[in-house]
Amino acid sequence: MYETDWNNIDLNSPCERDLSILDAYSFDTLLLEISCNLPDINQDTVRDQFYQELRNKVESAKAVFEANVQNIVTQAIEERSDY
């Protein structure tokens, strides 16, 4: 079974190149999180849940980006020189 190495994305692989850096976040997912995580449901707790999850996703995306920034720069330079 193939597992993605998020610390070393292969930018020559069409599958890995097409991976999302920032994970999607749907209303369905938010509602499930609310149902599972919030004993008290109101605008403040829902807002807090949303923003906390958004921060988590952004931090995860930043970590993946930072782990791959040199690969991204190298690939971008290589692709530009191909033109």
Q: Residue holding tokens 């999850």?
A: 53
Angle between helices 27-37 and 43-81 (to 10 degrees): 140
**pLDDT tens digits for the chain (83 residues)?**
778 999 999 999 999 999 999 999 999 999 999 999 999 999 999 999 999 999 999 999 999 999 999 999 999 999 999 87
